[in-house]
Structure 1
Amino acid sequence: MLGRFTKGSAAASRVEPAAPLPIVEPVTPETPVAVGSEKDQREDLLAVKVELHRHLIDRFNLAVLETASKEQILDEIRPVVRDFVRGRSLPLNARELDQLTSDTADEMLGLGPIEPLLKDDSIADILINTHKRVFIERRGQLEETPIRFRDEAHLLRIINKIVSAIGRRVDESYPMVDARLEDGSRVNVAVRPISVDGPLVSIRKFSRNPYSLERLVAFNSIRQPMIELLKIAVQSRKSILVSGGTGSGKTTLLNALSSYISHKERLITIEDAAELQLQQPHVGRLETRPPNVEGRGEVRQRELVKNALRMRPDRIIVGEVRGEEAFDMLQAMNTGHEGSMTTIHANTPRDAISRLEQMVGMAGMPMSQESIRAQIAAAIDIIVQTQRLSDGGRRVISISEITGMEGSVIQLQEIYQFVRRDVSPEGKIIGDFRATGVRPRFAAEAATLGFQFSKDAFNPQMAL
């Protein structure tokens, strides 16, 4: 059976020499696990899996292997894994050897060399620069990995496995595609001819357990009084716009905010690639669709927003507003769907308003600039600004409230802000979260609903 999956050349099955680990013991059921920190053991195991996978993709015929069942793959790779472990004198007992073999089979049935990276919760982004190089972002910093694909055809097989799972395609006719993994992680792919050197893949991972606002405090992204404000804003059905740059944590924050929505409400989500992880029981998820081979069948976000209004939603959550659907989103917020939420790419709250204004103009409606601004001021209550700092940390750097119009200008008042003070020798940003002393205008309305802010929540003299 081995001949069915292995390549013909002897050179392909040759094991590259590697320095053995310091602990050398026979593989038996009683062999103890190597002593060391949990982090070190996890990183050592990841390194072993990466090297083992590199050995296997050199040895086996991947195109044929992908048609096999897990049992067949286990039968084929078990002796190879055993020889690999013995050849490197790895300190694994029989149970750990079986687990390594099973994990390796899962990876070969899944997304190949990057499967161990997808299972590592400390990794935020996986960036594949052609089949030769793979980078990751861990704790805000980019680092290169030893992972590689056998060739461009191997990488393209993995890409097609990802995009075909959600009914999309990528080829010379459609060289760009947005997709998602089963766990909601966001995937962007660019292939030839627009990608000159070969396929480029960007995977934005999402935690298996969605972040709560309280958990974000542990990452120094936000402070407790700011959480209190956002929680009451959500429960008071205030419409929230989360603004920020790429990779600043907008979707993570939107997921966290949604946890405060009542489980009695019906939510409709609208996204280009479904990635929101809402915890409510009554959620309807809508996703855009690209055109087919004949150029037909495209479904844009604007059509989905219009359709969502006919689905009896209590709130509409748009993963990211980026075009003419902004007009319909504002109409929904102004006509009985208060408490809706969305994200937008912008560097400041004022820029977010300007971008929203431009997007409404894209809808082609005969509206004056002043009437567009009046629609925005009436629809949006809170703007939360996020930012990815130079040290890799994500912060909520501003929470502002829209208070209405003064002439033709939308009025904003900042309630909380992050103030940078210094940079440590290690490059870490040093700063403080501060209250501006302004009390939100919706506080009185929230009080009538039974939501009270703590006494010093907006005291600028109190440390957050």
Structure 2
Amino acid sequence: MRGSPLQQGPSSLPWQLPTPGAAPGPGIVPGPVRPSGPTAPVAAVPALQPVGVRPVVDPQVARELKRQVAAELHQQLAKLEGSGEVDRATRRQRGRALIEEVVARWSDAYAQTHGIPPTRDQDRALAEAVYDLLFRAGRLQPYLDDPEIENILVNGCDDVWVSRANEPLRQVPPIADSDAELVELLQDLARQHGGGERSLSTASPTLALRLEGGMRLQALTEVTPRPYVAIRRHRVASATLGDLVGLGTLDATLAAFLAAAIRAKKNVMVTGTQGVGKTSLLRAMAAEIPPDERVGTLETEFELWLHTLGHLRQVVPMEAREGNGERVDGRVAGELTIGELIPAALRMTLSRIIVGEVRSAEVVPMLRVMTNGEGGSMCTLHARAPHMVVDRIAELCLEYGAHMTDSLAYRLTANAVDFVVHVTMVDETAVGGRRHRFVSHVLEVTGLGESGRPAMNQVFGPRTEQGEPRAVPHTPPQCLDDLRRAGFDAGLLQSPYGSWGAPLGLRIGGAR
């Protein structure tokens, strides 16, 4: 038996909308009929449970009130839109007022039926649940609001997992009563996105979008047996290189080196696997760009947020646009890819271009930007190990067209990239430890080697024989004079263990 609208309990009764003309079912007491626009009247509600614990809202009640508010809000906005488009703030303001009215009607109906009114906390909890359903992420919202949660994984409405910082995955309660309701929630989020024609349907079975607060959502349906969702949070949204030193991602020596590389307008590619902190490092390095330089950012979903952080005064942010699922002449109608945005970006008088993530054929125009521009451009790329980066670039280059070859891809890479910065994660949460995210390698690309592949110089790397997996100085770069002109102290490279006070404390491996 389902719990009450406000508090789960063993003696509570389910929320039901009575069928017109039918006798009340067992335990259902019909309440007063109070019209509320074109929707159904506020129905009877069951008895409250004893107060003293945090109110828990019955999702069926919240959904019914959400439908009533949505219908009334639609009528109000239809009248307003005759004089112009209604902005998001106005929608939410009017929606909040309507929610308070509908919850007040519900509360009056409850009090008249049962002789005891809901508490203010219970009314407030119900109002927040309705607001979340209408304007935010519904029952998913509490996990989005928790700053300690890094990942939310949904394998159907009732199989939901979250991971917090330095904790393993754990299962949490369902976020919907059915998979159909979960898909409806995702479709609502897509409509709220406001960044183009994003949808989730049979015609468009994938959905990628940013959520409020900068979290990134990827969803699949139709091509999977149930709806699947993965949500990631960047927990260090505005970190500088100094902040990353404090977090243990790199030491002061490497921070000074990377800052000088950015000031010297070196082209940098940040690599690593998913979730290791590539975007956070890219954002931190971008904070070293002089504030009056004109920078363009290209992303599938905004995650860098350089145009909102305030350090750079000349940022042109560009976000790719998904198509509407229809195909015209072999391509998705309405789609605009990062690769297609790059030529337009080059006409915006930009000194640098930063691509949030290179995933496919856009790697070729990105490499050409790095080759032909003033320098200082950056991007991220998925690669499991630093020695795989060159072949990973070549693999993506081959997606560009039949005329592309390995040798041409290698030549593009050798001419374009100055440094590869590889980020690694060692996850010891399963053995009682924590997740360690750190830069493990900095490789300098020094042109084409004798084999026709780009030659690499390991400037920073681990010293595993001493139990140090993090990046420490190895070989001075060929462009050291350029970095010195940008303020780098070359003497920092003389310390074989950088600025680390001790080897990384790992539970398994590390120093012996």
**Following TM superposition, by how much is the alpha carbon of 1:371 offset from its aligned partner in structure 2, in angstroms?**
3.8
Of the three residues 127, 133, 157, the one matched with 1:108 is 133
List per-residue Cα deviations over 1:106-143 (Å, max 9, x = no partner): 42332111212212111112222211132112014212
Kindly indicate whether residue 220 of structure 2 is the aligned counterpart of residue 216 of structure 1.
no
AA in 1 matched with 2:223: I
Q: Within 5 A, what are the aligned runs for 1:115-130? A: 115-130=141-156
Residue in structure 2 matching 1:181, options 211, 218, 221: 211
**Residue 223 of structure 2 aligns with which residue?**
194
Please give the per-residue CA displacement for 1:405-430, whole angstroms capped at 9, x wherever unaligned: 221132212222345689xxxxxxx8
* In structure 2, C-alpha distance between the alignment counterparts of 1:291 and 1:175, rounded to whole Å: 12
What is aligned with 2:78?
none
Q: For 1:378-397, list aligned pairs within 5 A.
A: 378-391=415-428, 392-397=435-440
Number of equivalent positions: 412
Amino acid at match of 2:182: L
Residues 456 and 462 in structure 1, CA contact (< 8 A), matched pair in contact too: yes
Q: CA deviation at 1:311?
A: 1.9
When structure 1 is superposed on structure 2, of 117-126 and 9-18 the one drifting more is 9-18
Alpha-carbon distance in 2 for matches of 1:326, 1:461: 34
Confirm whether residue 411 of structure 1 aligns to residue 455 of structure 2. Answer: yes
* 1:216/1:222 contact within 8 Å kept: yes
Q: CA deviation at 1:444?
A: 0.6
CA offsets per residue over residues 76-130 of structure 1, 9 Å max, x none? Answer: 44698999xxxxxxxxx97x78875665454233211121221211111222221
Amino acid at match of 2:67: A
- In structure 2, give the amino acid aligned to 1:119: D
- Aligned partner of residue 254 in structure 2, secondary structure: helix
Change (3 A) 1:342 1:208: closer
User: For the residues of structure 2 that align with 1:448 and 1:219, how far apart are their CA atoms?
Assistant: 28
Find the counterpart in structure 1 of residue 187 from structure 2. Answer: 160
Question: Between Structure 1 and Structure 2, whose CA radius of gyration is higher?
Answer: 2
Question: How big is the shift at 1:237?
Answer: 0.6
Aligned to 2:394: 357
Aligned mates of 2:107, 2:477 — CA distance in 1: 62
**2:445 paired with 1:402:** yes
Q: Partner amino acid for 2:319?
A: E
* Equivalent residue number for residue 255 of structure 2: 227
Question: SS of 1:8's equivalent?
Answer: coil
Aligned to 1:276: 304
Deviations 1:420-442 (A, max 9, x none): 689xxxxxxx8553524312222
Q: SS in structure 2 opposite 1:319? A: strand
Mapped pair 1:251 → 2:279: yes
Measured after TM superposition, the shift of residue 341 of structure 1 is 0.6
CA-to-aligned-CA distance 1:184-235 (integer Å, 9 cap, x gap)? 32111111x21203x2111112348422222223332222211111111111
Distance 2:265 2:455 in 1: 20
User: Which amino acid in the other structure matches residue 175 of structure 2?
Assistant: R
CA separation of 1:226/1:106 partners in 2, compared to 1, >3 Å: closer, same or farther?
Answer: farther
- 1:300 counterpart residue number: 337
State the percentage of identical aligned residues: 24
CA contact (8 A) 1:417 1:435 kept: yes
Q: CA deviation at 1:163?
A: 1.4
CA distance change for structure 1 residues 214 and 208 in 2, over 3 Å: closer, same or farther?
A: closer
Q: How far apart, CA to CA, are the structure 2 residues paired with 1:158 and 1:326?
A: 34
SS in 1 for 2:357: coil
Deviation at 1:389, TM superposition (A): 2.1
CA contact (8 A) 2:157 2:174 kept: no
- Residue equivalent to 2:351: 314
Aligned mates of 1:146, 1:340 — CA distance in 2: 44
**Structure 2 CA distance for partners of 1:319 and 1:151, relative to 1, 3 Å:** same
Partner residue in 2 for 1:25: none
- C-alpha RMSD over aligned residues: 3.2
Which residue number corresponds to residue 426 of structure 1?
A: none
Report the 3-state secondary structure (helix = DSSP H, G, I; strand = E; otherwise coil) of the residue aligned with 1:283.
strand
Q: Which runs of 5+ in 2 are unaligned?
A: 6-14, 19-26, 29-43, 74-94, 111-118, 328-332, 429-434, 501-512
- Letter matched to residue 410 of structure 1: P
Paired position in structure 2 for 1:238: 266
CA distance 1:15–1:287, shift in 2 (3 Å): farther
Amino acid at match of 1:135: W
Q: Is the 8 A contact 1:70 1:105 kept in 2?
A: no
CA contact (8 A) 2:236 2:280 kept: no
Contiguous gaps of at least 5 residues in structure 1: 22-47, 84-92, 423-429
131, 137, 143: which one aligns with 2:157: 131
Is the 2:257–2:488 Cα contact (8 Å) retained in structure 1?
no
Q: 1:244 to 1:432 in 2, by over 3 A?
A: closer
Q: 1:169 aligns with which of 199, 221, 239?
A: 199
Name the CA distance, whole Å, in 1 between partners of 2:149 and 2:199: 27
Identify if the C-alpha distance between structure 1 residues 20 and 180 changes in structure 2 by more than 3 Å, giving closer, same or farther: same
CA deviation vs aligned residue, 1:234-268 (integer Å, no higher than 9, x gap): 11111110111111211121111111111211111
